[in-house]
Every structure is written in structure tokens, then in C-alpha cells.
Amino acid sequence: MAELDWEDRKPQSDEARSAFAPPSGVAAAFEDESHTTSEFAIPEGLAPPEPPSAEPGGSAFNAPRTYRAPAFTPPTGIPVVKLTKEVPWQDRMRTMLRMPVADRPVAEPVQRTEDDGGPAVPRVLDLTLRIGELLLAGGEGAEDVEAAMLAVCRSYGLDRCEPNVTFTLLSMSYQPSLVDDPITASRTVRRRATDYTRLAAVYRLVDDISDDEIEVSLEEAYRRLAEIRRNRHPYPGWVLTGAAGLLAGAASVLVGGDALVFVAAALGAMLGDRLAWLCAGRGLPEFYQFTVAAMPPAAIGIALTLASVDVKSSAVVTGGLFALLPGRALVAGVQDGLTGFYITAAARLLEVMYFYVGIVTGVLLALYFGVELGAELDPDATVSSSQQPVWGIVASMLLALAFAVLLQQERSTVLMVTLNGGVAWSVYGAMHYAGELSPVASTAVAAGVVGLFGQLLSRYRFASALPYTTAAIGPLLPGSATYFGLLSIAQNNLDAGLVSLSKAAALAMAIAIGVNLGSEISRLFMRLPGVSTEGRRAAKRTRGF
């Protein structure tokens, strides 16, 4: 018995002692020899140390250690933008255009593709470019053209698309995935023709393609697009010539003319229109067409003065100028500039400048000959319709009606744009003649009302706003200021002429900015389902530095 006790008390050798024997002071649960543990085990109550961060590899795609995420990016990521189907496709696409490509929602195809095996990318891009070409050639703004192109691509299932529109070139880039090469197609716009009936038809096609309840295959879209191209203008040539005469006659009454002035201005405008058509048939550029078209009204006004006819020759010349002033191109150019498309805006405004120079050249030629022949033309004369407000409103509506016909608008939109033109002149007359405000401020407010009503009508019909706004601004165009400026220059009074032409330029800019501001106000304050008016994205291109 003593031997056993001695054996038990004998110290064990180092070889016999296990490395996994529990040290003294640990819990009784570890006293069982069958439960082994490591000497590196963490005692109870001690938190394990955090492993050191591994040093990143030397790849060029790894962010450096000193890199910090930008402050404007939230830690939880960028929220997904959700736009319901009740929102017009113009607003949805415009919102996506003003977002980075990586932040846009994934495209949800609403149209079937060939055998459901994926979209035919080259055909979709070609269809998109053809649609954009018709819109741009019809005078649509660059942002609206890009919105329509993006809507077509996303409707056929092409994600990560990026449209690009300039004055004469359209391109569309599509990247299948982040590791695939992008596919880019382009198209050049070489010919422009103002036809708002064709423009409205293209908008209806884009609206049907974007509608998930209407099935429009690629073949059907191509067929409808070919029909739109082949369609004839809604009004024949003699109707357009008569509309040019009606526009000039109404404009002459708008600035204080009588029945004789109406007839003379209408005759001069129709003669100028026919001469311009003759020059166009011979292939002359538009600059010479505007120069030739501006000469007959001025010549008729000078002839009436030389014949000692008791008539306002200034009203005759002013009425003829109203039919030539490029209000459509001016509004489109300023709109492109305000929305951030500076290259397209510069090209459009340069086009407007050439048109103005052509008009100036034609009128100055006639005025120089008139002054040399002894015509007594008074550059200090004033034209006003404040004494006849009712006739002014009627003349403004006739002017808008004739302008709508010249723009080849659909017959269903002519009545609305005629009423819009009457409203524009009423607002201008109430502010300028009754309220005695400056003509620039009055013109800007009246143009803003035109843009507001035009945008509301276009959103109601899911169409372009141009048919409802362009003709309605006709009564506001600075025809009289342009004429008196040219007359002063023709009589060697350069200072007065430049002042009057500067006033005409200020009025033109007020019209363009007012129309754009009215449209933006309608989009800003109209609350649509699924869109929050508080977080509306703007076209933020630069911060000024």
C-alpha cells in the first residue's frame, strides 16, 4: 500500500507530462484527462484579439490605402430610383438622362424581341437613330431627342445605353456588360424640314413602343417609321403661301396697320415666299432664300411711300418681317443651352444669326434704294395697337393660326395653339400697355405663359410641346424693333440702329427664356404618381469653376 502511494506521489518526467495537461486553477470540467486542450487556448473572460488586416496585393485595380470614399456618396449606397408606369415616358427618360449610367434602374423590356432570345442590338440601335434623326430634323430640342432615343432602347431591353446628340450628328452607345466592348452606331442629319405633323407621328410611335400594353415589334416599328417618312405634308404649297400672306397681314394690323396695310403686307409676304421657293428649287442655301424673301415687303412699303399713299409703310415692312423671323430655331437654341447642350445650342444660335443676317441684307438693300430715291421713312415712328386691344387680340390669333399652318401642324392642334397665341398677346398687352411695364419683362412673362400652357397640353396628350408653343410666340416676335434698327442703319444713324437691334435681341432672348422657364415650372410643380417633386434631379453639368 505504501508502494502505491509512493508511485502516486512520484513526480512525472517531462516526457510523461502532456503538453495538453490543463494548468492549475482552471475549471473542474477540464480535469478530465480525456478532454484535452491547447496551451494557446484563450482563458475565459478574455476577448480574442482582432486579426491584422492583410496587406492588399499589388493589383492596379485595388484602391490605395490612403483612398477615402467621396463625401457625397452615402455609406449605404445610392438609393434606387423608382418611376411608375403612370409617369409619362418623357419624364422617366429625362430623369434617367440626368443620372450616371451606373445609377440608372435596370431596363425592363416592354416589347418582345426576336424569338425571346435577346434583342437584335444592331437593329434596335438603327431604329433608335432613325427616330432621333426625324425628331432632330423637325426642330426638337437635344434633350428631348436623347430622351426618345433612350426610351426606345430600354423598351427593347438594351441596358447601359448612352445617347449623344449634337446639331448634325447622333450616336448611340450600348455596352452589353462591364467586360464586353461597347457597340456604337451613329447617324448624320443632313437635311432639315419643319413638319410638326411628322413630329407628332414620331412621338406617337415612341409612346406606343414605351407602352407595355401595346405590342410593337421591330418589324412593326420599321413599317410605321417608313410610313411616317413617306407621308405627304398636310397642306399644299398654295396654302402655305396664303398662310405666309395671312401671317404678314395679321402682324401689320398688330402693329397699328389698317386694311390697306393688311393687303400690302400680305402681298409682299406671298411674293417673297414664292421667290424663296424658286431659290430653294435652284439649290441655293437658306441664307439667300431669306435675303430674297425679305426684299418684297420692304420694296412694297417704300413704293407706297414714294407714291404718297397715306399708309404706314413701317407696318407693311414689319408685317413682312414677322413671317421670316426664325423664332423656332431661336427657342430651340436657347433651350439647348439652358439644359446643358452647349455645342448644339451654339450651332443653333449661329444658324439664327445667319438667318438674321440674310433678313438684314435683304431689307437693307431695299431701304438703301428707297432712301436714294427720296423715300421719307421715319425711324422715330412708333407702332402700337394699344388703342385697339380687341383687334390686337384677333390679329394675334390669326397670326398664330397662320404660323401653325406654316409649321405643318396637325389640324387637331391648330385651335389650341391659336387660343394660346391670343392669351400670349393679352398678357403682353395687359402688362406693357395697361401696366406700363418694360416690353422685355412683358414679353418674358407672356412667353412663360405660352410655355406653361404648351407643356401642360403636351403632357396631357403625351406629345411634343413644340406644336403648342412655337406658333403661339409669333405675336411676340420683335419685328418692329428689327425694322427700325435696320432703317436707322440705312440712314447712317448707326447708334440708334444698334440700340434698336439690341432691343430686338433682348426681346428674342426674353421669348426663348420665357418659353423654357414656363415648361420647367410645369414640370417642377406638377406632382405625378411615383415622382417626388422634392428630389427632382437637375441637369447639373458644372458649378461654375
pLDDT tens for each residue of 437-451: 888 889 889 988 888
The Cα-based distances of 2 to 9, 10, 12 in angstroms read 11, 12, 18
Spatial separation of the C-alpha atoms in residues 48 and 58, rounded to whole Å: 30
- 265 with 338, same domain: the answer is yes
Radius of gyration of the chain, Cα coordinates, nearest whole angstrom: 36
Residue 188 lies in a domain: yes
Q: Which cell numbers in the block locate residue 18?
A: 502532456
Residue 323 lies in a domain: yes
Q: What angle do CA 345, 348, 349 make, to 5 degrees?
A: 85
The amino acid sitting at 504 is A
Collapsed DSSP state (helix, strand, coil) of residue 483: helix
Residue 327 has pLDDT above 80, yes or no: no
Q: Residue 526: CA atoms inside 13 Å, Cβ hemisphere, count? A: 17
Spatial separation of the C-alpha atoms in residues 511 and 518, rounded to whole Å: 11
Residues in the chain: 545
**Residue 478 in contact with residue 321, Cβ under 8 Å?**
no
Spatial separation of the C-alpha atoms in residues 259 and 262, rounded to whole Å: 5
- 453 with 419, same domain: the answer is yes
Tens digit of pLDDT for each residue in 472-508? Answer: 888 888 777 777 777 777 777 888 888 888 888 888 8
- 218 with 313, same domain: the answer is no
- 209 with 252, same domain: the answer is no
**Residue 110 in contact with residue 211, Cβ under 8 Å?**
yes
- 376 with 413, same domain: the answer is yes
Pairing of strands 183-188, 161-165: unpaired
Cell 401671317: give the residue. 247
Residue 27 lies in a domain: no
pLDDT-based confidence at residue 69 (cuts at 50, 70, 90):
very low
Q: Residue 196: CA atoms inside 13 Å, Cβ hemisphere, count? A: 24
Instruction: From 175, 197, 230, give the residue that closes a domain.
Output: 230
The Cα-based distances of 67 to 64, 71, 73, 507 in angstroms read 5, 12, 14, 52
* Phi–psi pair at 349, nearest 5 degrees: -65, -35
**Residue 513 in contact with residue 443, Cβ under 8 Å?**
no
- 118 with 241, same domain: the answer is no
How many other C-beta atoms lie within 10 A of the C-beta of residue 47?
6
Residue-range definition of the domain harbouring residue 103: 89-230
**Mean pLDDT calculated for residue range 53-68:** 52
pLDDT of residue 543: 41
* Number of separate domains in the chain: 2
- 115 with 219, same domain: the answer is yes
**Sequence-ordered alpha helix ranges (H) in 10-120:** 89-97
**Mean pLDDT calculated for residue range 205-221:** 87
Collapsed DSSP state (helix, strand, coil) of residue 216: coil
Stated pTM of the model:
0.73
Spatial separation of the C-alpha atoms in residues 363 and 486, rounded to whole Å: 7
Cell 426576336: give the residue. 114
Of 15-29, 93-107, 169-183, 314-328, least confident by mean pLDDT is 15-29
